[in-house]
Structure 1
């Protein structure tokens, strides 16, 4: 017995020694890595030679770069002092990061396969949304992008237009009893948190247009999948925090020390995945039962289009059920909250600029006569249900029943009418420019590279890198792409770049002609540009066109709106940060 005990003790001692050795080796490796990162590598970083602001050993410039409250002034100051291409400090003085307002640099970084989203960003997105297209890189991203492309063609988006109007009208009908009557409008406006309500409506839109699924969130916020997404997105808005950042490197932290946010996220994902599996299975069965040939299936929602694509015999054109669910979760997040924010910011800007609001409303109302005439004169009117488009814009007409989304004539009438409103188009474009829903994005160099420039860079050693030359960047370096900063660039947009001016889109000047959506960074560009940008623009137009003839929007009294940066740039009420995302406006019935 004593011998056995001694043997066990010997084994235990050996195990402890092994653990100690391993721990010491890990500590030594960590110390070497830290010394290399902090001391050895920085002097050899080519970005060190670029101009830019300096900071202390353990300080950073993240607030100056990422906080919407200070970033516009910071960008303007830095460009004035250092030129269009410079470096700043990330996690400490050792961490050199590149930022540029040089369009040649931005084009190179966003179009080259050398530059990818950092793995930390992709892991955060995949934890939240699954491995959707936003969390992919390289060949995998290219294949998925090609597969989902047919769901976002102009024809597909136009077919979804009646859904946009249907949900906008439902929102209008919910707001009407919430506000005062026309006789009381001047004295008793109603304060409505439009960001919350519009988010509910756009969630319904992507539910129908994306999955043919009814969340009914405009009417009642009780649907389980809707609530699961909302809880999960609320957690995401808080940011990862120190624990979240550490868990990226040591995932076991979340398993050993789960907190309330982690449990909320995981429970929400379980609800979403269970419902998603059922939805995908049912949709597959429905499509297969409807038609025997993939080519004969009627295109309805995004999920139907993707499943139709899956029926191809070519395995490279197929998505697994898991892939389908991940892509749909990504579309739901990007297609609901980002568009809801654009619509909310647009209404807020119109509230602050009553002359623009009046001009836009007059244009929308002027379409009423023309659209009615075109509908009534159409030879197809007797063959299909009335689209309801004329009533949509009438501020005094009775509310029509929701138009049937499957009616092609209704879709055509709605989308074509929106295309005849140039000032609405200009207002939406200018909103996208002034209020991008993504403040900036980050790329990481996967190998050493030479980046071409079109504006001179005055290096710290006195050397000037001229137009047409290149600056060096090493593997692992981060490049911050200032989406909002580029949207505010005076070089692109003129001296009034930070002024909301829809007429810049209607001018015939060379600057205006060149300043198309291609120059608006809101949707990015290149291989990783937003595939659903047409969806977002059309939906925004439909909501503004539906709401503005019925309501007058004014700033809420005593309220100052600020912005904060989470995954998306969200509004909040100053001095009421703890209440989260909010954008209250005074809403009154419009009286002609």
Structure 2
């Protein structure tokens, strides 16, 4: 049999299996008792529509307004999906249920290709073991000393921007246009390398390591244009036995190839870093990231160890998530302060006031000073709320369960529901975007950027890792590096606001698109790719 015929046969087999799954699922309990938007397609449900909409929120905003914080949407092959943004419901799934709501198989298939068998991918006892080993590396005590590294990297970036402004400033313009997404990831990668890996990536200087930022920038480039066949193929992983589902991966897509290139490159760099640590170098009891990995590689106690593949996967995960997520949020922070010049001026005056009160005119600000800046931290919290880097998370019930609700919803028969019963295997679409813009939680202006909402931020339901937000997820699978990210944002924001004034160039309008990590693109110019062009001018007395 020729290779072409074999591939055709395998894809037909996958399609037949998916159709069989459709028939089986139709006989199971469903969410038909819930209201929800009518399905536009039996095979594709809302998923094609959801993936083709560019701007985050442009589809689900209408749904949340009409149906509330818990409703039914249609998935591929006739699957009913529970879309959820209710605080208590999310708390139940992410905080109280521990590992009883794992990631679905199709999501794990994608993340495995990106990261390998690391913390983002594995579940249950394996995840618990890995998390327990890595937690000390991201504690507050371990993270705070990195402030000096972050300040050094932010200052290096500021000097490069200053050179850029001096060289390119046009007559009559306050500064020059700088595309922040071309700079901030390189700065964040350098900060990551010098803090966690004790290694100089030199990304700001344009060494070979900056290729990682280039790879990530284009990682999801055609994931925004998923054709129907690819969507059905991805969805088939949810229903087919793993051994059969893997046959669908024989023919690699462009996305598969990009993910493989990223994983090979990042793990290659990780391997170099691991080899720079000699065997036993972690026996001094240090709790830095590399020492913990070194101990885990050579320990003889299984519950305290990691395989080489696991260790390299942790590093690939940290390289990706540890710089790109922070850089993307920082881009949105500078965009919002550029959009709100009064808030930017309040922020600058707060930093200046702290300098005067502490008598620290030139040295990097101390962590306690950064933590005490109320407005700076409100700006960070509000941007995390308004621009969640990952707007959607997916989980699947592994037992029959009842999900409680803070905000009751009206079911299809007109009755009021305070809880939603689900069966084993029920897919849950947790809308981080929807929760972060819930008007009952955040006020009637929840669809606007307003840092002053965090002046009094007590909420009835505790959720998430930071600021009662779900931007870092929550519970046992919450972002392990959230403290690292917040501290870096604090340092970089304070450093750059002291040196520059940000404004929006004429005619520039930016939108957050999916997929990707909160990717910013210019409205109507998506073909140009990810970008965040801001007018950056030197501040009097800066640098």
Both structures adopt the same fold (TM-score exceeding 0.5): yes
SS of the counterpart of 1:294?
coil
> In the alignment, which residue of structure 2 is the partner of 1:121?
107
Deviations 1:448-497 (A, max 9, x none): 323233443433234443x3xx4322232211011011011111111121
**1:417 aligned to 2:417?**
no
The aligned residue for residue 34 of structure 1 is 19
Distance of aligned partners of 1:320 and 1:226 in 2 relative to their CA distance in 1, 3 Å threshold: farther
Corresponding residue of 2:83: 99
Equivalent residues of 2:280, 2:295 under 8 A apart: no
* Kept in 1: contact 2:223–2:255 (CA 8 A): no
Q: Are residues 1:350 and 2:299 paired? A: no
Is contact 1:294–1:312 with CA below 8 Å preserved after alignment?
no
Q: Distance in 2 between the 1:287 and 1:440 partners?
A: 40
Q: For residue 171 of structure 1, what is the aligned residue in structure 2?
A: 157
For residue 427 of structure 2, what is the aligned residue in structure 1?
478
1:145 corresponds to 2:131: yes
Structure 1 residue 570: Cα displacement: 0.4
Task: Indicate the larger mover: 225-234 or 209-218.
Answer: 225-234
Q: Could you say which residue in structure 2 is the equivalent of 1:281? A: 275
Q: 1:328 aligns with which of 290, 315, 322?
A: 315
Which 10-residue stretch deviates more, 194-203 or 244-253?
Answer: 244-253
d(CA) in 1 for partners of 2:326 and 2:21?
44
Does structure 1 retain, via aligned residues, the 8 Å contact 2:193–2:199? yes
1:387 corresponds in structure 2 to none
- Written as runs of structure 1 = structure 2, the 5 A alignment for 1:195-234 is 195-220=181-206, 222-223=207-208, 225-228=209-212, 230-231=214-215, 234=218
**CA 233–302 in structure 1, closer or farther in 2 if over 3 Å, else same:** farther
Shift of 1:127: 1.0
1:519 aligns to what SS in structure 2?
Answer: coil
Structure 2 residue corresponding to 1:272, chosen from 260, 266, 273: 266
Range moving further from structure 2, 531-540 or 276-285: 276-285
Query: Of the candidates 555, 558, 575, which is equivalent to residue 524 of structure 2?
Result: 575
| 1:523 maps to which of 472, 479, 482 | 472
Supply the distance in 1 between the matched residues of 2:53 and 2:186 (Cα, whole angstroms).
25
Describe the shift of the 1:32–1:302 C-alpha distance in structure 2 as closer, same or farther (beyond 3 A). Answer: closer
Equivalent in the alignment of 2:389? 437
Aligned partner of 1:304 in structure 2 is 291
- Residues 183 and 449 of structure 1: CA distance in aligned 2, closer, same or farther (over 3 Å): closer
Distance of aligned partners of 1:557 and 1:483 in 2 relative to their CA distance in 1, 3 Å threshold: same
Which runs of 5 or more residues in structure 1 are unaligned?
1-14, 374-389, 394-412
State how far apart, in whole Å, the 1-side matches of 2:404 and 2:427 are.
16
Return the alpha-carbon distance in structure 1 between the equivalents of residues 389 and 122 of structure 2.
21
**Partner residue, 1:428:** 380
> Aligned residue for 2:75?
90
Change (3 A) 1:87 1:438: same
TM-score normalised to structure 1 length: 0.79
The corresponding residue for 1:294 is: 284
- Name the CA shift for 1:262/1:85 in 2 (closer, same or farther; >3 Å): closer
**Residue of structure 2 equivalent to 1:378:** none
Distance of 2:50 and 2:494 partners within structure 1: 35
Query: Residues 480 and 514 of structure 1: is their aligned pair in 2 closer, same or farther, counting only changes over 3 Å?
Result: closer
User: Are the structure 2 counterparts of residues 446 and 324 from structure 1 closer, same or farther at C-alpha, using a change threshold of 3 Å?
Assistant: same
1:133 alignment partner, SS class:
coil
Is the 8 Å Cα contact of residues 56 and 513 (structure 2) preserved in structure 1?
no
Q: Aligned residue for 1:398?
A: none
Cα gap change, 1:185 to 1:493, in 2 (>3 Å): farther
Distance 2:458 2:525 in 1: 44
- Cα contact 2:87–2:461 (8 A) shared by 1: no
Cα shift readout 1:323-375 (whole Å, capped 9, x = no counterpart): 211001111111111000111100000000000001101111222233435xx
* CA displacement at 1:505 relative to structure 2: 1.9
Aligned equivalents of 1:284 and 1:500: distance in 2? 49
Q: Does the Cα contact within 8 Å between 2:158 and 2:496 map onto a contact in 1?
A: yes
Query: What TM-score comes out, normalization by structure 2 length?
Result: 0.86
The separation in 2 between residues aligned to 1:434 and 1:55, in whole angstroms, is: 29
| Residue of 486, 490, 510 corresponding to 1:541 | 490
2:33 equivalent among 42, 49, 52: 49
Deviation of 1:122 (Å): 1.1
8 Å CA contact 1:231, 1:265 repeated in 2: no
1:428/1:229 CA distance change after superposition, 3 Å: closer
Tell me how far apart the structure 1 counterparts of residues 163 and 440 of structure 2 sit (CA, whole Å): 47
Aligned to 1:405: none
Cα shift at 1:264: 5.0
Tell me whether 136-145 or 354-363 shows the greater mean CA deviation. 136-145
Report SS of the residue matched to 1:144: helix
- The answer as to whether partners of 2:439 and 2:445 remain within 8 angstroms in 1 is yes
CA distance in 2, matches of 1:180, 1:125: 43
In structure 2, relative to structure 1, the CA distance for the partners of 1:55 and 1:304 (3 Å cut) is same
Q: What's the counterpart of residue 240 of structure 2?
A: none
Q: Is the 8 A contact 1:561 1:572 kept in 2?
A: yes
Query: Which residue does 2:241 correspond to in 1?
Result: none
Structure 1 residues 261, 124: CA separation in 2 closer, same or farther (over 3 Å shift)?
A: closer
**Aligned to 1:238, which of 208, 222, 227?**
222
- Aligned residue pairs, count: 522
Q: What's the secondary structure of 1:287's corresponding residue? A: coil
Separation in 1, partners of 2:388, 2:189 = 19
**CA 1:510–1:130: 2 relative to 1, 3 Å:** closer
Gap change, CA 1:534 and 1:63, over 3 Å in 2: farther
Instruction: Say if 1:133 and 1:554 are closer, same or farther in 2 by CA, change over 3 A.
Output: same
Q: CA deviation at 1:114?
A: 2.3
Q: Is the 8 A contact 1:180 1:588 kept in 2?
A: no
